[in-house]
Amino acid sequence: MTQALTRKRPGLERVLKTADRLFYEEGIHATGVDRIAAEAHVSKATLYTYFRTKDDLVTDYLHRRSRSWREYVAGELPEHGASPEERLLAIFDLLGEWFLSPSYRGCPFINSEAECAPGPSSEAHLANLEHRSWVHTLFGGLLKEAGVAEPEAIARQLMLLYDGSMSGAQADPSVDWAAAAREAAESILRNHQTSH
Amino acid sequence: MTQALTRKRPGLERVLKTADRLFYEEGIHATGVDRIAAEAHVSKATLYTYFRTKDDLVTDYLHRRSRSWREYVAGELPEHGASPEERLLAIFDLLGEWFLSPSYRGCPFINSEAECAPGPSSEAHLANLEHRSWVHTLFGGLLKEAGVAEPEAIARQLMLLYDGSMSGAQADPSVDWAAAAREAAESILRNHQTSH
DNA sequence: ATCTAACTAAACAGATCTGTATGGTTATGA
DNA sequence: TCATAACCATACAGATCTGTTTAGTTAGAT
């Protein structure tokens, strides 16, 4: 270990925060490296010691977005109900809180796929797939816990509501798309609950 | 009427077709004006007599996408069932056919909002709102015809499935998201059908 | 105190993009 | 035939973006 690795790099945190805000709120392509460096109060040369290319910074942004949302949901769900059904429906409540933010701009992963070069091997696409796989597992696990038959298929139906509410809230924030998604999810659950 | 307006402009059609293909399949920002002109076999100077700016061409692309989809659906639905419920569910079948296309790349309107400068007055945003309003009216009308109570609210739930299936098919074409959406829609309808 | 990693500002190279200008060519209708 | 609208290829202006370079400054560990 050299000293270099133990020294603090206070600028790095500012770069990450600034990049996250600008990439999400104004778009990846619309945000230049110069602006990130300026708003993070870091010289461009320093930024390029943190990240080899802008693309690396974009990939890092996507992975951080995914991880922080997963951690947030994992931390909140246990407090949102004792039964798996309640916790499942609470996912839509958490989405609804996100949608209330004035800086809400849709799903970062869907947006990044639209902005970046497409292709099944693009980093944006892989990040999107990885994140969606987590969502599917989250729904699937709660459905299994609830004793619902065919949890994987129903989890996909709930993902439609999850993704659809993000699109809706992006296009028209005046509608409570999260509440609509929650109600639709209740209909779906009602149709697949084991009578007992 | 001068002669100028009666003369044919065979290049215009090629420009429209090329722009539509490239904007949708490769992205708006990734598609340069030079490339559109080259692939349409039209000089750039000529293209700029058809459209004052690239932005005008983008706006035209979005409006044409919206109109052609609306016309396609309006033409297909009557042949997809006698009852309003059947026709409503057939919307998801039409989406499913679209998703099968190897060039499917998600919703052009959501994508354009991610790519272009945001803001409530942007042409991309207005086109998105206009198109979504048509979708909502389409679902709402069929629900009214079917005698479903609160058709506007249920129409919004169906829009979640509509939008969600487009996102799903964009991210992971290996899953039949349209079929999942249709099944979810059936659950929702079952929960709101008037017993008779 | 001094060495050195980390940082700075600013200029630069090279690529790419939109939109315009130039100067010449084709094809149509009267 | 001939006027003219529509077209062509090409070069250019101006802006913007990524990434590099240069030469010099700051601040922490020993």
Evaluate if the CB of B196 falls below 7 Å from strand C. Answer: no
Half-sphere exposure of A110 (CA within 13 A, CB side): 29
pLDDT at position B177 over 90: yes
Q: How many Å apart are CA A28 and CA B39, to the nearest integer?
A: 27
Q: How many Å apart are CA B160 and CA B112, to the nearest integer?
A: 19
B73-99 mean pLDDT: 97
pLDDT for the residue B120: 74
B178-187 mean pLDDT: 98
B152-165 mean pLDDT: 98
B16-27 mean pLDDT: 96
Which of A117, A170, A184 is nearest residue B30 as measured by Cβ atoms?
A: A117
pLDDT for the residue B11: 84
Nearest CA-CA partner of A143 in A97, A185, A113: A185
Contact yes or no for A107/A166 (Cβ under 8 A) = yes
pLDDT for the residue A195: 57
Q: How confident is the model at residue B9 (pLDDT cuts 50, 70, 90)?
A: confident
Give chain A's mean pLDDT.
93
CATH 1.10.357.10 fits A55-194, yes or no: yes
Which protein residue has its CA closest to C1' of D22?
A45
Q: How confident is the model at residue B5 (pLDDT cuts 50, 70, 90)?
A: very low
Which protein residue has its CA closest to C1' of C20?
B45
- Nucleotides on chain C that have an atom closer than 7 A to a protein CB are 5-11, 16-23, 28-30
Kindly report the nearest CA distance between residue A75 and chain B, in angstroms: 25
Q: How confident is the model at residue B4 (pLDDT cuts 50, 70, 90)?
A: very low
Contact yes or no for B164/A158 (Cβ under 8 A) = no
Q: Best of B163, B165, B174 to disrupt the A interface by mutation (most A CBs within 10 Å)?
A: B163
B67-71 LR contacts (CB < 8 Å, sep 24+): B69/B131, B70/B131, B70/B134
C-alpha triplet A139, A156, B21: angle, nearest 5°:
135
Contact state of A157 with B190 under an 8 Å Cβ cutoff: no
Contact state of B110 with A115 under an 8 Å Cβ cutoff: no
Evaluate if the CB of A39 falls below 7 Å from strand C. Answer: no
Q: How many Å apart are CA B33 and CA B55, to the nearest integer?
A: 10
Residues A101-153: tens digit of each pLDDT:
999 999 999 999 999 877 777 888 999 999 999 999 999 999 999 999 999 99
A9-17 mean pLDDT: 91
A63-83 mean pLDDT: 97
How large a percentage of chain A has pLDDT more than 90?
88
Q: Where are the alpha helices (DSSP H) in chain A?
A: 3-6, 10-26, 33-39, 44-50, 54-76, 84-100, 108-115, 123-145, 151-171, 177-190
pLDDT at position A26 over 90: yes
Using CB atoms within 10 Å of the CB of residue B173, give its burial: 0 to 12 exposed, 13 to 18 middle, 19+ buried. middle
Q: How many Å apart are CA B160 and CA A166, to the nearest integer?
A: 9
Question: Regarding predicted confidence, which is higher, A144 or A193?
Answer: A144
**B30: its two tokens:** 């990734």
Residues in A closer than 8 angstroms to B157, CB to CB, are 180-181, 183-184, 187
**DSSP label of A65:** H
pLDDT for the residue A9: 79
B95-121 mean pLDDT: 92
Q: How confident is the model at residue A3 (pLDDT cuts 50, 70, 90)?
A: very low
Domain spans of chain B, in order of start: 1-51, 55-194
| SS (HEC) of chain B | CCHHHHCCCHHHHHHHHHHHHHHHHHCCCCCCHHHHHHHCCCCHHHHHHHCCCHHHHHHHHHHHHHHHHHHHHHHHHHHHCCCHHHHHHHHHHHHHHHHHCCCCCCCHHHHHHHHCCCCCCCHHHHHHHHHHHHHHHHHHHHHHHCCCCCHHHHHHHHHHHHHHHHHHHHHCCCCCHHHHHHHHHHHHHHHHCCCC
**B169: its two tokens:** 């098919």
Q: Which amino acid is present at B42?
A: V
pLDDT for the residue B7: 55
pLDDT for the residue A196: 52
Which protein residue has its CA closest to C1' of D6?
B9
pLDDT for the residue B117: 75
Question: Regarding predicted confidence, which is higher, A116 or B87?
Answer: B87
Residues B128-145: tens digit of each pLDDT:
999 999 999 999 999 999
pLDDT for the residue B116: 86
Count of CB contacts below 8 A, A vs B?
143
pLDDT at position A1 over 70: no
Residues B39-50: tens digit of each pLDDT:
999 999 999 999
Which residue ranges have CB below 7 A from strand D? A 3, 7, 30-34, 44-45, 48, 52-55; B 2-5, 7, 9-12, 41-46, 49
Contact state of A191 with B192 under an 8 Å Cβ cutoff: no
Best CATH choice for the domain A1-51 from the list 3.40.50.720, 1.10.1040.10, 3.40.50.300, 1.10.10.60: 1.10.10.60
Residues in B closer than 8 angstroms to A181, CB to CB, are 157, 160
Q: Is A116 helix (H, G, I), strand (E, B) or coil?
A: coil
Nearest CA in chain B to A29: B115
C-alpha triplet A50, A52, A56: angle, nearest 5°:
90
Contact state of B159 with A181 under an 8 Å Cβ cutoff: no
Kindly report the nearest CA distance between residue B111 and chain A, in angstroms: 5
A41-54 mean pLDDT: 96
